[in-house]
Amino acid sequence: MLKIYHNPRCRKSREALKLIEEKQLEYEIILYLETPPDKEELKQILKKINLQPSALLRKNEAQWKALPNRKTMSEEEILEALILYPKLIERPIVIGQNKGVLARPIDNLIKFLKQD
């Protein structure tokens, strides 16, 4: 069973969900803006997708630009910002049993689904 951290307002996220549905895979939708991951869950996600917090960061969001120390933040501080402001989390993220992928671009998801 896959988990997709999804924002229905995001075109890329909708594309990823459509691909999963077309392949008739079992999945669970996590509306991460409504039920944001806590610190431990986000750490597990990052571990499965093998990325640092900064790689998940949406740097064009107003909440990010409003942080005065954003240019000097450590990965741990960025992790805290992602928890505090889940809108900063890049999407979609698709998680399988032991691995996951930041499905942006969609080619990342296509490659990931071929592996599993």
- Point out the residues that are catalytic: 10
Beta strands in 13-114 (DSSP E): 27-31, 93-95, 100-102
**What residue type is assigned to position 16 of the chain?**
A
Name 100's bridge partners.
Answer: 95
Beta-bridge partners for 49: none
SS3 of 54, please?
Answer: helix
Q: Are the C-beta atoms of residues 112 and 94 closer than 8 Å to each other?
A: yes
Structure tokens at 67: 């942080």
